[in-house]
Structure 1
Amino acid sequence: MKKFILLTLSFISLISIAQNPGNQSPQLKNNSAQQYSITGIVLDAETKQPLEYATIVCTPLNGKAITGGITDQNGKFDVQVAKGSYDISVEFISFKTKTFKNREIKEDLNLGTILLEINAESLNEVEIIAEKSTVEIRLDKKIYNVGKDMTVKGGTASDVLDNVPSVSVDVEGNVSLRGSENVRILVNGKPSGLVGLSGTDALRQLPADAIEKVEVITSPSARYDAEGTAGILNIILRKGKALGFNSSFTATAGNPDYFGASANLNYRTNKVNYFTNIGYNYNNSPGKSKSDVTYLNPINDAPKYISENTKYTRENNRFNSQFGVEYYINDKTSLTGTVLYRTSDGDDASTNTRQEFNASKSLLAKNYRLEDETEKDKTLEYTLNLTKDFKKEGHKLTVDFRYGKSNEDNKSNIFEEDDLGIVDENTIERSFTDETSEDVLLKADYVLPINENTQFEFGVNADLNNQTTDYLLEEFENNQYVNNTNFSNTLDFQQNVYSVYSQYGQKINKFSYLFGLRLENTDRTIKLIQTNEDFSENFTELFPTVNLGLEFSESENITLGYSRRLSRPRSFYLNPFETRTSKTYIRSGNIYLDPTYTNSFDFGYLKRWDKITLNSSIYYQHTINNIEWVESETLRDIDNVETLVILRSPINLSSQDRYGFEFTTNYTPLKWWKLTNSFNFFKSSTEGNYNNVSYDKEDTNWFTRLESRITLPGKIDWQTSGMYMGPSEGAFSKRDGIFSVNLAFSKDILNENGTLSLNVSDLLNSRKRTSSSYTNNTISKSEFQWRSRQILLNFTYRFNQNKKRERSRSFDSGGGEEEMFKA
């Protein structure tokens, strides 16, 4: 509480700085001032049809607040203004703007019939600009605009991230940045309930249509939380900014069973902007896996070989909604509030066929393990943002508040049966998991430009998290379910992170620098309810950042970044109670885990030619207290038989060095053909010892993507993308390479207001993880496929939106440095 009070006092000091007399807001207009009407009617010059929702902007020549309005369904408008001189413009998306210069208003004015002409040339220019700005380079981040990526139409945030250079998503949905899963995922620059309790599943629930762009921040400045040793992925959601009403609607159907619909709605007046995103989808995603285990020294009558094949069916109903209101208090101050509500109702079933063989490979036993699992997720989140721009350009104060509550309720029933369908009562069990999380975020950032090329920034942050996990395992004994106290447990996890930061930057000719320092205090408490044990930890760390940039020309620059970061173990890693995936394979956390700390260095080079753009980086990371999962063996009594059991748990495995290079090239050999290639190579060296066993290893890995986009006759767009992830090797495991191809076609219809697209994910049905691992007594080989080939048909209709303009429009919701610090 003392830390929070200190942060609050710091925030109050920010407000006092902000309220200096030289930057006071303009006085409110005198409501008694006489108003005059500006009227007229707006028509399409070619068809003579009225243009509904055309925008009328009245800009006073005395520099006061801009006013305006929109046309009705008959193309008519009536705008009220005070006496004075104005420039009046009439605008409509994809039409040429009509401007009436220096009109003096001292009585009502009728502009008559205004004819707007189609601006085809402007549209083409906008499209070209949008394609060139696919990658934006700044000192502390790279921004990838989602643009017209057809392969993610009807998809999810996981599909979008899987197409972003430097990012990879494995077959289970785990996200990696430059090969490391220690990545922090933000939404609009802040932690969000959209990521949820389990980020992998939550990203599969966020529709791709709601995403405008993704920021890849491999060398974060001090403004960002220090969490995430690999860096930060910041997902920016769409939010309309144009005056008037605009919307888009998307319907999707596919095979395996997939049905979905979403809508993005926006209505803005001069004072208020309303926006909402709503989406629903149903999908059934079948998957499969198989594994073969060889026991080198079987005990007693235990089998020599065990073969398992599993088939999965996953049915999910998902609903996402977000509603927001942005109120413009005046031309310098705005207040934005949003409400997010998300639900997911899943029913997963799996059938595992297990066969046991002796040394001569004669079948000893065969049984079936059936599991039915239901999961209900719910997230409710409220956010409030105050943005205050002062008189001087770039002088800004932003204050954010967020409260979120998430709940995951999981129920599972498991039993085994033989070939005759007779159930083994000793295998009947059921489990219940109830996980609830509450989060509060308080955040303030203050930016003060000292002069045109220099700025100072200061901010405070309090991120408060409280999570409870209640797990109950019951086994069937004597015709009733009995609590298995060896596995049932309740964990209370509370983690509060308080931080303060400052940074200073300057641009001197073509050289830019940004120095920052962030202080974070972590206060963590874990309570084990069953054993009545408490574990507390409190530590404070400093995290310096350095970002340098040098422009050789408008088309060539280099950047150099350094940051110190950490990765705090989540409750899943810390919970010491055991859970089991089978009776012979058990996982537990480690309550004594320490955070992982990383020093990262990044050197980037960007060069643009007429038809080719090259964006490349060399990077190095040194990590201490690196967390790795290790396996050990023990003997346990299972059904009155002494059985070998594998235990899996995380430990801080000493140190790791990672280094690599990456590049992305955009090449346009012909006007109708665009090629994009990205390549990432990295090598890691780990040193560590556990239970007198060396875990030293060196792993070389790489992945690459190639995307081709061709415009066919009839303005049909054809996109093909291929991905290959190279093989990987650990201390006691290795994984084979993974290859997949996606294919998509798209065609604009209905006067370009609609788009029909067809995409195929994993065309060759080859996206599978094949791996092997070994211990002193076992050799395991496995293959896993999360989802088979998927075919989706999408239809999007845009109302009062232009496709090309929508692609080129963007807004900055995640912070980042001011324009003067672009590299």
Structure 2
Amino acid sequence: MRLLSVFRDSLRCFTLSLCLLAVAVTVKADDGVANHEVKGRIVDQAGHPVAYASVALYLPSDSSLVTGAASNDLGEFSIRAAEGRYYLMVRFLSYKDRFISDIQVNKNVDLGDIKIESSFTDLEAVTIEADKPQMELKLDKRVFNVGQDLNNRGATAAEVLDNIPSVEVDVEGNVSLRGSENVRILIDGKPSGLTGLSSTDALRMLQGDLVERVEVITNPSARYDAEGEVGIINIVLKKEKTQGFNGSIEARVGYPANYGLSATLNVRRKKFNYFLTYGVGYQDRQGGGEMNQHFFYPDTTYYYDRIQDRNRTSLSHNIRLGTDFYLTKKSSLTLSGGFNPSQGRNISRNTYQDFDSLRTRTGTVWREEDENATDQNAELNLNFRKTFEKEEQLWTIDLKWENNGEEELADLTEKSSEAGVEDIYQRTSQVNDQTTWLFQSDYIYPLGKDGKFEAGVKINLKDVTYDYSLEDQLSDQTWVVNSEFNNTLTYTDNVYAAYVMAGKKKNKFSYQAGLRFEQAELNTVYAQNNYANKRVFPSFFPSAHFSYEFTEDRSIQLSYSRRVSRPRHWWLIPFFGLADSRNIFSGNPNINPEFTHSMELGWLSQGDKGSILSSVYYRHTDGEIERVVVNDSIGVTRMFPINLGYENAFGLEFTISYKPMKNWNMNGSFNFYRAISDGTYEDVRYYNDAYAWSSRFSSKWKVKKKLNIQTSFNYRSPSTTAQGKRLAMYNWDASAALDILKGNGTLTLGLRDILNTRRRRFESHGDYFSSYTDFQWQSRTTTLTFSYRLNQKKKEDRGRNGSEGGDFDGGGDM
């Protein structure tokens, strides 16, 4: 296959690049001379020597491993190190890690006896120390550590996002942030093959067990891509970096059919770190709903009811592996790759019952689509990272290749109760292919004690091919191509970017300002009619962030950024799905990007028992992309995207955490916003003034030493649209987790949508039609998950505060 051929060729290129870069960096390496001895003796609580304990020395500037050793039979160890400041970590199976900070080496150092404690003596204490804060606030992002959220056990990545404050995922898997779906979704800080062709399907296939944390960036700085009107959601996958061999294994079983197995393994040595993640999952999702539609033409009025049943099965694999090679104390190379094949079958059955103006049934039509889908997503990454003598000075280079292939073959059948109407048989073929190349380089230079200067360049080249064809079966059983639905789309999206940014902290005041330039070159070509549409959009994107700390526990933040949302390639495709022949969606090849000015003011207050983050925000968008519904022909409505006009959106948001007692944590969020949009399309004005709010509440109890219980409730209020109204949606989830096998294993039972209320309901109206729709993607689910940790207990604080990176972190991420 073309995918595998390209994968092999690209692997050769990446391997060659790796070798050349390794030689170049090694020649220029600047190592210090390890002429000092650091020694000590590892003992247990009784003073007995501990043999074969792992002892590792790290640089505090970037937590890079310098050297290491194992204790001998007498518990003694000796390490050679250059002059400098370090921290030391001692690890041994069944013992708590021992962390020793601020080791100054300017002569031989004797640390004496280092006592380590058994991890079985007070398991409850270890567990309490293990919990990271659920939310951490950085200067330009919020970090949510989702690993401790019980409701995420056995869930998909889409369900993990649905538990994040400000983020909403509807029943069809569409992700929105603060009420807008124009949000950029990244994986490990970069566009990923996992979300290449359809982020909705990809997030459902990605197991939540593989997610380490979620970063929500509502007002991104110039360091980040300008794509995404309301911001960026970055999903960070698990990758262990601790010394020695460790990992975890997780298995799940659920009802309706939901089975999965995942493993994360890591081997850390002096010069190398190897990591492997594998996940396989099978799901059988059943959903459906109903629609009541009313058509009122000048000369006739009639109705129809549609009853829909859907069944989607999928078998997906997620393989990610790589290695970190520590060339010197200050430079490293990371080569990683991923492969994500999946297969699925989607069956959609629609029953249409037609009525006249008196609501007398006049006939019934049955339409079925049986689709088989195959996806193959692959990617390769090469990262070079170098630190310098100055603390926090950093240079990174990233190279990435990814390819996403998708093939969908469907058979369609339509039958009518009306006498004399022949059955309809059709078959469709959709073959999609997307290839992306990415080059990025970032540099950070410290300015004085608390300042930084950053600069970087990025090139992202994307090439998409979309083949679509429809065949009709004639009465003599032969198949003919329907020329009206036969075309090939070629779409290129090339973005060239560069940015500069500077920041400083002076006493209680911090600031960060930057400017990013992006030139987007979009080209759309349709083979059938030789139509081409090439557009170039050079744009500047400034950003500014300010923070003032009144006290250690109270601070205020102000930020501004300019953003862009470029059309998704499936919005440009003029073809449409035929599963529902009376309600169709088609693309628009002429839509342009929308540009947004975004401002936000936030207040953080922290106390002994909790914290509250409150924000007010405002967005102004020009060229707003909106989906409209029109009466395409008698009895048929069509939805498609357009550049409508403008939108002004502003809102108020609260995120609260509270710990009323030692074993009880509560978290809640509330978001209220108003959005005013206005524009004209084909002499029809589309004006909307919408008020809406959403909230989430979560509570976690530690009932006993080994048992945790968590429950959460989500609510999304009704809101108006330019053509109707979206009704309220809410759901309640609950989970319980029990630690077993001396703390190495955990059993989790999860219930999602206990009240079976997670449904999408909306009303719409337009010229000569009105409708009401009630749809549910799947009913309530029950999942039992077992996880087992290899050579590790529940994660403890290793001396690094919270998630990786600080307020001014950057370089290589995005």
1:457 and 2:454 correspond: yes
Corresponding position of 2:722: 731
Corresponding position of 2:409: 411
Q: For residues 193-272 of structure 1, what are the structure 2 equivalents within 5 Å?
A: 193-272=193-272
Rounded to whole Å, the distance in 1 between the matches of 2:43 and 2:642 is 70
Note if contact 2:295-2:635 (Cα within 8 Å) is conserved in structure 1. Answer: no
Q: How far apart are 1:378 and its partner, in Å?
A: 0.7
Note if contact 1:130-1:807 (Cα within 8 Å) is conserved in structure 2. Answer: no
When residues 813 and 496 of structure 1 are mapped into structure 2, their CA distance, relative to the original with a 3 A threshold, is farther
When residues 482 and 368 of structure 1 are mapped into structure 2, their CA distance, relative to the original with a 3 A threshold, is same
Corresponding position of 1:699: 690
**1:26 pairs with 30, 46, 69, which one?**
30
Q: How many residues align?
A: 778
Q: For residues 116-135 of structure 1, what are the structure 2 equivalents within 5 Å?
A: 116-118=116-118, 131=131, 133-135=133-135
Tell me the secondary structure at the aligned position of residue 503 of structure 2: strand
- Of 588-597 and 213-222, deviating more is 588-597
1:762 partner letter? D
Note if contact 1:768-1:784 (Cα within 8 Å) is conserved in structure 2. Answer: yes
Rounded to whole Å, the distance in 1 between the matches of 2:800 and 2:740 is 22
**2:585 pairs with 570, 584, 587, which one?**
587
Rounded to whole Å, the distance in 2 between the matches of 1:164 and 1:492 is 36
1:794 and 2:793 correspond: no
Rounded to whole Å, the distance in 2 between the matches of 1:494 and 1:319 is 28
When residues 611 and 810 of structure 1 are mapped into structure 2, their CA distance, relative to the original with a 3 A threshold, is closer
Q: How far apart are 1:588 and its partner, in Å?
A: 2.7
Deviation per CA, 1:750-772: give whole Å up to 9, x if none. 11000001000101111001111
When residues 527 and 240 of structure 1 are mapped into structure 2, their CA distance, relative to the original with a 3 A threshold, is same
When residues 233 and 366 of structure 1 are mapped into structure 2, their CA distance, relative to the original with a 3 A threshold, is same
Corresponding position of 2:96: 95
Q: How far apart are 1:370 and its partner, in Å?
A: 1.5
Q: How far apart are 1:555 and its partner, in Å?
A: 0.7
Deviation per CA, 1:280-321: give whole Å up to 9, x if none. 011111101111111223867xx7121111111111101001
Corresponding position of 1:434: 431
Q: For residues 807-818 of structure 1, what are the structure 2 equivalents within 5 Å?
A: 817-818=808-809
Q: How far apart are 1:590 and its partner, in Å?
A: 2.0
Corresponding position of 2:18: none
Q: For residues 143-154 of structure 1, what are the structure 2 equivalents within 5 Å?
A: 143-154=143-154
- Of 729-738 and 512-521, deviating more is 729-738
Rounded to whole Å, the distance in 2 between the matches of 1:476 and 1:177 is 45
Corresponding position of 2:4: none
Corresponding position of 2:167: 167
Q: How far apart are 1:226 and its partner, in Å?
A: 0.4
Tell me the secondary structure at the aligned position of residue 662 of structure 1: strand
1:596 partner letter? E
Corresponding position of 1:473: 470
Tell me the secondary structure at the aligned position of residue 592 of structure 2: coil
Rounded to whole Å, the distance in 1 between the matches of 2:200 and 2:55 is 45
Sequence identity percentage:
37
Q: For residues 11-90 of structure 1, what are the structure 2 equivalents within 5 Å?
A: 25-27=29-31, 54-57=53-56, 66-69=66-69, 90=90
Q: How far apart are 1:371 and its partner, in Å?
A: 1.4
Tell me the secondary structure at the aligned position of residue 194 of structure 1: helix
Q: For residues 230-629 of structure 1, what are the structure 2 equivalents within 5 Å?
A: 230-297=230-297, 304-418=302-416, 425-478=422-475, 479-577=477-575, 579-629=577-627
Rounded to whole Å, the distance in 1 between the matches of 2:249 and 2:601 is 42
Deviation per CA, 1:166-210: give whole Å up to 9, x if none. 111111111111111100111121111122210011011111121
Deviation per CA, 1:50-75: give whole Å up to 9, x if none. 887x4223689xxx983214589xx9
Note if contact 1:339-1:382 (Cα within 8 Å) is conserved in structure 2. Answer: yes
Q: How far apart are 1:105 and its partner, in Å?
A: 13
Note if contact 1:127-1:808 (Cα within 8 Å) is conserved in structure 2. Answer: no
Note if contact 1:622-1:655 (Cα within 8 Å) is conserved in structure 2. Answer: yes
2:361 partner letter? L
Deviation per CA, 1:664-690: give whole Å up to 9, x if none. 111111222211110001110011112
2:643 partner letter? N
When residues 307 and 132 of structure 1 are mapped into structure 2, their CA distance, relative to the original with a 3 A threshold, is same
Corresponding position of 1:687: 678
Rounded to whole Å, the distance in 1 between the matches of 2:191 and 2:420 is 46
Q: How far apart are 1:727 and its partner, in Å?
A: 0.5
Corresponding position of 1:639: none
1:729 partner letter? T
Deviation per CA, 1:189-240: give whole Å up to 9, x if none. 1111122210011011111121111111011110001000100011111111
Unaligned runs of 5+ in 1: 1-15, 636-642
Note if contact 2:99-2:798 (Cα within 8 Å) is conserved in structure 1. Answer: no
When residues 481 and 43 of structure 1 are mapped into structure 2, their CA distance, relative to the original with a 3 A threshold, is farther
Rounded to whole Å, the distance in 2 between the matches of 1:522 and 1:84 is 48
Tell me the secondary structure at the aligned position of residue 148 of structure 2: coil
Corresponding position of 1:155: 155
Note if contact 2:627-2:641 (Cα within 8 Å) is conserved in structure 1. Answer: yes
Note if contact 1:69-1:269 (Cα within 8 Å) is conserved in structure 2. Answer: no
2:664 partner letter? W
When residues 449 and 104 of structure 1 are mapped into structure 2, their CA distance, relative to the original with a 3 A threshold, is closer
1:789 partner letter? R
When residues 577 and 308 of structure 1 are mapped into structure 2, their CA distance, relative to the original with a 3 A threshold, is closer
Tell me the secondary structure at the aligned position of residue 286 of structure 1: strand
Rounded to whole Å, the distance in 2 between the matches of 1:412 and 1:65 is 53
**2:708 pairs with 706, 711, 717, which one?**
717
When residues 773 and 103 of structure 1 are mapped into structure 2, their CA distance, relative to the original with a 3 A threshold, is closer
2:787 partner letter? T
Q: How far apart are 1:816 and its partner, in Å?
A: 6.2
Note if contact 2:587-2:640 (Cα within 8 Å) is conserved in structure 1. Answer: yes
Corresponding position of 1:678: 669
Note if contact 1:503-1:517 (Cα within 8 Å) is conserved in structure 2. Answer: yes
1:660 partner letter? G
Rounded to whole Å, the distance in 1 between the matches of 2:180 and 2:82 is 60
When residues 623 and 29 of structure 1 are mapped into structure 2, their CA distance, relative to the original with a 3 A threshold, is same
1:429 partner letter? Q
Corresponding position of 2:5: none
When residues 775 and 582 of structure 1 are mapped into structure 2, their CA distance, relative to the original with a 3 A threshold, is same
Deviation per CA, 1:15-57: give whole Å up to 9, x if none. x9xx99xx97424879xx9x999999x89768999887x4223
1:756 partner letter? L
Note if contact 2:54-2:70 (Cα within 8 Å) is conserved in structure 1. Answer: yes
Q: How far apart are 1:424 and its partner, in Å?
A: 6.6
Rounded to whole Å, the distance in 1 between the matches of 2:139 and 2:184 is 19
Corresponding position of 2:758: 767
Note if contact 1:415-1:424 (Cα within 8 Å) is conserved in structure 2. Answer: no
Rounded to whole Å, the distance in 1 between the matches of 2:708 and 2:186 is 32
Unaligned runs of 5+ in 2: 1-20
Q: How far apart are 1:788 and its partner, in Å?
A: 0.7
1:414 partner letter? L
Corresponding position of 1:630: 628
Q: For residues 750-765 of structure 1, what are the structure 2 equivalents within 5 Å?
A: 750-765=741-756
2:55 partner letter? I
Tell me the secondary structure at the aligned position of residue 796 of structure 2: helix
1:664 partner letter? T
Note if contact 1:134-1:144 (Cα within 8 Å) is conserved in structure 2. Answer: yes
Deviation per CA, 1:489-516: give whole Å up to 9, x if none. 1100001000000011111111011110
1:452 partner letter? K
Tell me the secondary structure at the aligned position of residue 224 of structure 1: coil
